[in-house]
Amino acid sequence: MYGKNAWEKYDEAQLKEVMDLAEDYKKFITDAKIEREVVVESVKALEEAGYKPFAYGTKYAAGDKVYFVNKKKNVVAFKIGTAPITKGLRVLGAHIDSPRLDVKQNPLYESSNICFLDTHYYGGIKKYQWTATPLAIHGVVCKKDGTCVNVAIGEDDNDPIVGINELLIHLSATQLQKPGSNVVEGEDLDLTMGSRPTKKGEKDSVKETVLAILKEKYGMEEEDFLSAELEVVPAGKARDFGLDRSMVAGYGHDDKCCAYSSLRALLDIDETPEYTSCVALVDKEEVGSNGASGAHSRFFENCIAELVEATGEPLSRLKDALSNSYMLSSDVSACYDPLYAYTMETRNACYIGNGVVFNKYTGARGKSGCNDANAEMIGWIRRVMDDANVNFQTAELGKVDQGGGGTIAYILGNLNMNVIDAGMGVLNMHAPMEVISKADFYEAYKAYQAFLTAKF
């Protein structure tokens, strides 16, 4: 159903499904805030559903369930279909990184009785949104001896939180004259870590206190920051949003709402599909998808190559497996917000509650950098959505020349797959607290299932 509010169609039983699915999702994004954690939680869910790590030398056949993990930050899962893999796959691809602050390699310093931790922001953020708000530190510290320890500070109710200082309004006359982009400067996004000296009258004694705590809790020395990946994210749980509990507020909906609904869509399908189903969860989208764990990595193509061989097809036909594939680039879209109506064009915007949203193209300055989905594919998608009674809508990313952005769609398009962006509208996108509709989440989940199982 095109352009209709999904809430209006639910009966009691469906309403319960919508709310229950949102509960599962809230738990997921509370437990998995960074890409490494998403991979851990995803593998747990895959294993529970009977998926096994790919084993070279094993022959795979219809109904087999297999997954690949790449560098602990990228996971790809497949359910082998009844048709040869060279007939193409049905791929759901989402990214599992979100905008945040990364801790620098040499981050710790003390100034005026305060110990600070220096950061470098990751992805597109409004820097002023990150001050005076509860923050947590997630990640890993790897030591010279090869051991790694996971770090999570600020999530347990008994944990302290950290945060970034904000200038009091009383002294903000100069600051508030600055343009929004540098009201808070990137180099000033330093976390306050402590203020209690260990020893009387000694230099950097507050820093010593903080280092002693890190040593006790994680066995780390100051130099171990060199080989750490610590990500600063908003502290706390995902929560229901709105008095009617119709929405979820949380950190990192972009793009964990699509990652989780895609994964669940795959796991919840009982039948063996005709075309091999695939869910690819990738890292680094917010910084251009480069590097080994990003969508540009050869890893994804290599996984498919492995399966072409392992299902008894000639590797020389890998190109058919790719060219015949259909993919939904599961990523979020800018939800129409009446408070910022001047940024949107109302006939080509997505509205909260109207279901899964398809972006034929994204890009900026004349669609530059976009994947532009084929009309033929969209015609088929419309039929698949209507046959499955899924509420869907179409959108552009705001008004022409208002800004723009991209997703991983073009990267898989470059492998010659048929790709379209499909996700859900987000309010406050890229802010520390993002908001999505539970109905949109449910419709996306249903859309992904319909896509994986639909005939041509």
Residues of the shown chain interacting with Mn ion in the complex, contacts defined by CB under 5 A? 254-255, 331
Q: Two tokens at 397?
A: 């990313």
Closer CB to Mn ion, 194 or 252, in the complex = 252
| Least distance (Å) between residue 334 CB and Mn ion | 10
Do residues 119 and 102 lie in contact, with contact meaning Cβ atoms separated by under 8 Å?
Answer: yes
| Least distance (Å) between residue 28 CB and Mn ion | 17
| DSSP-derived 3-state class of residue 148 | strand
The DSSP bridge pattern shows strands 65-70 and 74-79 to be: antiparallel
- Kindly report the length of the chain: 456
CA distances from 125 to 36, 424, 431 (A): 21, 20, 7
Closer CB to Mn ion, 94 or 307, in the complex = 94
State CA 205 to chain mean position distance.
Answer: 39
Q: Which amino acid is at 422?
A: A
Closer CB to Mn ion, 41 or 331, in the complex = 331
| Least distance (Å) between residue 139 CB and Mn ion | 20
| Least distance (Å) between residue 24 CB and Mn ion | 21
Q: Two tokens at 327?
A: 């993919």
Query: What span, in angstroms and rounded, lies between the C-alpha atoms of 421 and 409?
Result: 6
CA angle 373, 377, 383 (to 5 degrees): 135
Closer CB to Mn ion, 394 or 407, in the complex = 407
CA distance between the termini of the chain: 19
Task: Name the one residue in this structure whose structure tokens are 């960074």.
Answer: 34
| DSSP-derived 3-state class of residue 357 | strand
| Least distance (Å) between residue 448 CB and Mn ion | 16
Closer CB to Mn ion, 105 or 181, in the complex = 181
Closer CB to Mn ion, 94 or 310, in the complex = 94
| Least distance (Å) between residue 328 CB and Mn ion | 13
The DSSP bridge pattern shows strands 163-164 and 190-194 to be: antiparallel
Closest CA to 407 of 392, 399, 395: 395
| Least distance (Å) between residue 331 CB and Mn ion | 4
Do residues 218 and 60 lie in contact, with contact meaning Cβ atoms separated by under 8 Å?
Answer: no
Closer CB to Mn ion, 110 or 331, in the complex = 331
Closer CB to Mn ion, 193 or 349, in the complex = 349
The DSSP bridge pattern shows strands 135-142 and 148-153 to be: antiparallel
| Least distance (Å) between residue 253 CB and Mn ion | 9
Closest CA to 251 of 238, 241, 240, 262: 238
| Least distance (Å) between residue 258 CB and Mn ion | 8
Closer CB to Mn ion, 41 or 255, in the complex = 255
Query: What span, in angstroms and rounded, lies between the C-alpha atoms of 417 and 410?
Result: 9
Query: What span, in angstroms and rounded, lies between the C-alpha atoms of 239 and 236?
Result: 9
Q: Which residues share a beta bridge with 280?
A: 76, 93
| Least distance (Å) between residue 358 CB and Mn ion | 15
Closer CB to Mn ion, 267 or 408, in the complex = 408
